[in-house]
Structure formats: C-alpha cells, structure tokens
C-alpha cells in the first residue's frame, strides 16, 4: 500500500516539480546571474578605486611631482629637474584615476550580462529540479518507514 501511495504521489509530484523548476528556475537563474554580474562589476571597480586611492593626492600634477621627486633624489640643478619632470610626464601620460578601466569594465559587463542570463536560463531550472528531487527522495524515505 505504501509503495502504491508513493507511486501515485510520485506521478503527481514529478510533473509539478518539472513545471515548478522551469518557471521558477528561469526567473531565479536570470536574476541570480544578473546579480552575480553586478557583484563582479562592483568588486572590480572597488579594486581599481582602492588602487587609485593609494596615491597621496588625486591630481595629476601632484602625482607627477611625487614620481619626479623620487627620480631626482634631491638634485638641485633646475634644468635636470625640469628634464626629469618632462620625462616623467612622458612616461606617465595618463591620470591615475582609472576612468578608462571603469568604463571598460562597464562595457565588458554589459556585454557579459546577456550571456550570463542565458546561462542562468539553463542552470536555474536544473538547480531547482535537483533540490526538489532531493526533497522528494527524503519525503519518500520518510513515507516508506
């Protein structure tokens, strides 16, 4: 009798679990992958901002001045200092604030968003169905005891 009951409940539960995992899994998969994409973007932006804040001053001229001061090693000749400052500006033409990297990361993550959401459409129902399958097996074992 218990085996018949588990068979009947299994035939009812299986299609419901499949429908539930497809509908709920697609939604959760898309939202989960979009949120993971946002968290990755946020992590990388924080990383670049943390690297940028290691410089003592934010402006480009002070950044060049610090680099040139390290290279001059207290040389008093103004012509040598000017040449070293010009050389430092030539070697470091970009401002230390990572505008380019943040914009590049934004574009890259906007490119990855549909790909990750598509993967969420595939992975979401599988994960939900595996969870419902485990719940069914636990319920079946309790029922047969």
Along the chain (145 residues), what's the average pLDDT of each consecutive run of 10 residues?
70 80 90 95 88 63 72 71 77 72 92 94 87 75 71
**Are 72 and 137 contacting, i.e. CB atoms less than 8 angstroms apart?**
no
pLDDT at 56: 47
Sketch the domain layout of the chain as residue ranges: 2-55+96-144, 60-95
Whether the full predicted model's pTM is greater than 0.85, yes or no, is: no
25 token code pair: 């899994």
- Which tokens hold the place of 41? 């973007």
CB neighbours of residue 124 within 10 Å: 23
């Amino acid at each position: 009798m218990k085996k018949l009951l588990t068979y009947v409940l299994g035939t009812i539960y299986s299609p419901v679990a499949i429908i539930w995992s497809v509908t709920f899994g697609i939604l959760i998969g898309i939202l989960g992958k979009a949120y993971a994409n946002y968290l990755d973007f946020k992590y990388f932006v924080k990383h670049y901002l943390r690297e940028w804040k290691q410089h003592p001053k934010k402006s480009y001229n002070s950044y060049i001045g610090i680099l040139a001061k390290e290279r001059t090693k207290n040389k008093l000749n103004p012509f040598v200092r000017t040449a070293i400052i010009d050389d430092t500006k030539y070697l470091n033409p970009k401002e230390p604030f990572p505008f380019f990297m943040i914009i590049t990361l934004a574009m890259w993550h906007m490119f990855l968003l549909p790909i990750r959401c598509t993967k969420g459409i595939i992975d979401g129902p599988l994960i939900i169905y595996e969870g419902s399958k485990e719940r069914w097996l636990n319920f079946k074992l309790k029922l047969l005891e």
